[in-house]
Structure 1
Amino acid sequence: MMDYAMRLLLSSFTILSLYISCIQAKGTQHVTCGSVLKLMNVNYNVRLHSHEVKYGTGSGQQSVTGTNIKEDGDSYWLIKAESGKHCIRGKPIKCEDVIRLEHTTTKKNLHSHLVSSPLSGKQEVSAYGDHRGEGDTGDNWMLICDNDLWERDDAIKLKHVDTKTYLAVSGKTYGAPINGQMEVICEYSSNSPHTQWTTVEGMFVHPNDFNAQHHRHTEL
């Protein structure tokens, strides 16, 4: 009986500690390694999205689209280091860092390659990799932003490292089986108005400035 009471007390204390940590982390202003978030295209107001639907043309890989449904859980992406490297959870992402974005539902990485996209004939963007989130160098993206660090309110660009193109939305809309979702592509010019993205909903790992053993999270 005493052991059960002690476990219950410790469990309650852990929940309270996590709650306090979340409140304290409200001041987190940067996107950090290990954060899980949604990216919204500034021009078209659609969230970067994927699902277990493959392209019927091109690479035949898992499709990536833009959706205007805010609540869709298939629009979350995990921020991690480039292929073959590791980043410290909670470490702010610097502008010009190379990162990967792992689709949290299917474990595949945001990917591009020299394949034509199905609607506009631009460069295809897909989700690629195995069940462990491992793909290839086509999963690497350079963060382009105006400050030293990726701030949560920044309008940023993602430059595909292998092909020197920029993640964008074409404005063209799919029919069945993904009715109403927009085509996500890579643009060749960084000056395109469709290449800007901003973070919206998400969970952000707090920078470990004082204690490397504790992680704090916050939601927008």
Structure 2
Amino acid sequence: MKSDNQPGYIILLLSCLSSVQGSLRVDDVTCGSVVKLMNTAYKSRLHSHDVKYGSGSGQQSVTGVEDQDDVNSHWSLMGASGKHCDRGEPLPCGTKLRLQHLTTKKFLHSHHFSSPLSRNQEVSAFGTKGEGDSGDNWELVCSGDDWRRGDTVMLRHVDTGAYLAMSGHSFGRPISGQMEVVGITSPDTTAKWKVQEGVYIKPASDHHHNDGHDEL
């Protein structure tokens, strides 16, 4: 039997489908994704490697590199210390998170040591066997609800209040040409970052998780 209200029913159905698709945005940056972060002022990607600072904390150094193909620029997005976030869960603006260096398994970290070149706040990579401390926690500073791939964001260090930035200074040997990454107290254009290449875990549905991913 044909319904007299068929056009209205179709419009309602399309509206519902549009609402569902809108809640599953594939361009969300999500927990469990592995990304490269590019500083928008210097066009360099956040980087680390098994090279320790010769001053300050003596912990593993964090730098910026222009090479977009360097495997040591991959960071895994995780929940804050003692917190869990599900793979594929969108990361809301204001959330606290950790960034784990994919190669060495150390966490992006900061503290009240002075950075080696500019005497700002040192940023290092820290932790043993996937465990660190509260100095690994960063707050996502962005506009809107969730972190989207095209967004320019800032990362504020929870313990000290400093913002992840680049100083514009470059190191000599053994990491010649790599740029100093620091924490600054008053954020400016050097504290702005965008996600670039990576493996993005697709957002989960309301009832079950999608383990698919997009590679860029």
**TM-score scaled by length of structure 1:** 0.85
- Alpha-carbon shift at residue 147 of structure 1 (Å): 1.2
Count of aligned pairs: 192
1:156 corresponds, among 142, 146, 153, to: 153
**Cα RMSD over matched residues?**
1.0
- Per-residue Cα deviation, 1:71-115 (whole angstroms, up to 9, x for no partner): 100000000000011101100000000000000000000000000
Aligned to 2:193: 197
Q: Secondary structure at the match of 1:198?
A: strand
Q: Secondary structure at the match of 1:74?
A: helix
- Alpha-carbon shift at residue 207 of structure 1 (Å): 1.0
Matched, 1:65 2:63: yes
Q: Secondary structure at the match of 1:163?
A: coil
Matched, 1:218 2:209: no
Q: Residues 214, 193 of structure 1: CA spacing in aligned structure 2 closer, same or farther, 3 A cutoff?
A: closer
2:121 corresponds, among 90, 101, 123, to: 123
- Alpha-carbon shift at residue 212 of structure 1 (Å): 2.3
Gaps of 5+ in 2: 1-24
- Per-residue Cα deviation, 1:164-218 (whole angstroms, up to 9, x for no partner): 010000000000000100000001102x110000000011111111662541100
Matched, 1:43 2:45: no
Larger radius of gyration: 2
* Letter in structure 2 aligned against 1:165: A
Distance, in Å, in 1 between the alignment partners of 2:152 and 2:95 is 16
Identical columns (%): 54
- Per-residue Cα deviation, 1:130-188 (whole angstroms, up to 9, x for no partner): 12x21000000000001100000100000000000100000000000001000000011
Distance, in Å, in 1 between the alignment partners of 2:206 and 2:86 is 14
Aligned to 2:132: 135
Distance, in Å, in 2 between the alignment partners of 1:94 and 1:213 is 18
* Letter in structure 2 aligned against 1:118: P
Distance, in Å, in 2 between the alignment partners of 1:96 and 1:81 is 13
Q: How does 1:75-154 map to 2 (within 5 A)?
A: 75-131=73-129, 133-154=130-151
CA contact (8 A) 2:150 2:195 kept: yes
* Letter in structure 2 aligned against 1:200: Q
* Letter in structure 1 aligned against 2:115: S
CA contact (8 A) 2:88 2:209 kept: no
Runs of 4+ in 1 over 6 A off after TM superposition: none
Q: Secondary structure at the match of 2:135?
A: helix
Distance, in Å, in 2 between the alignment partners of 1:181 and 1:28 is 33
Aligned to 2:50: 52
Distance, in Å, in 2 between the alignment partners of 1:96 and 1:183 is 26
Distance, in Å, in 1 between the alignment partners of 2:46 and 2:52 is 16
Matched, 1:173 2:170: yes
Distance, in Å, in 1 between the alignment partners of 2:38 and 2:209 is 32
- Alpha-carbon shift at residue 28 of structure 1 (Å): 1.5
Distance, in Å, in 1 between the alignment partners of 2:215 and 2:145 is 22
**TM-score scaled by length of structure 2:** 0.87
* Letter in structure 1 aligned against 2:135: G
